[in-house]
Amino acid sequence: MYLEDVEPSVFGLFLIWLYSGGTIPQRQIGEKKGDILNQTPTQLTKLWVLASQFMMPKLQNAVIDEIFCAIEVMFRDIESLQFTGETHTQLMWPFTEYAYETHTPMLRNLAVDRLAFGCSESVFMDMVEFLPTEVVVDVAKALRAGIRMCAEDFYFAED
């Protein structure tokens, strides 16, 4: 079976989830780029899209939890100056770009929420020049509304 739009690392995460009984491995510090366990928010988002295509809400919900966790850890590490190599722009911009490319409102809202409420003002200001105007406007609207979302707000029913 050939899946055109699925990267090997994303399919690897899918297989790990299947064979582990529903566990997505945590990002490993010090792993080489492209390694299956070195998932980024973008890879996790691609896994979410794959789960959506296969109609697997349980996997989608698990991925949402991992996206929240990965972004939280990334921003925390940036703030404490313990970040390991990749910059927040190198990790968040591809995630945001992919979320907007999918034309999936849920993924767009997730990206906007994490930019609006998941990072500090100084980190956001470092990234703002790389973000499209549409994203910056959406973040401004989210900040104005003041409604911070949690992972469960993005869950699907698992019936």
Residue 14 lies in a domain: no
The answer to whether residue 35 is domain-embedded is no
2 lies in some domain: no
pLDDT tens, N- to C-terminus, the chain (159 residues): 677 788 888 898 899 999 988 888 765 544 444 443 457 888 899 999 999 999 999 999 999 999 998 888 777 766 555 445 556 666 788 889 999 999 999 999 999 999 999 887 877 888 888 888 999 999 999 999 999 999 999 999 887
Give 36-47 pLDDT, tens digit per residue.
345 788 889 999
pLDDT per position as a tens digit, 9-43 = 889 889 999 998 888 876 554 444 444 345 788 88
Domain range enclosing 139 = 40-154
Tell me, yes or no, whether 120 lies in a domain.
Answer: yes
Residue 28 placed within a domain: no
Number of domains comprising the chain: 1
Give DSSP secondary structure letters for the chain: ---TT--HHHHHHHHHHHHHTS-PPPPPTTPPTT-TT---HHHHHHHHHHHHHTT-HHHHHHHHHHHHHHHHHHHHHHHTT---SS-HHHHHHHHHHHHHHTT-HHHHHHHHHHHHHSS-HHHHHHHGGGS-HHHHHHHHHHHHHT----GGGG-----
**Is residue 139, in this structure, part of any structural domain at all?**
yes
Q: What is the pTM of this model?
A: 0.83
- Residue 8 belongs to some domain of the structure: no
**Does any domain span residue 6?**
no
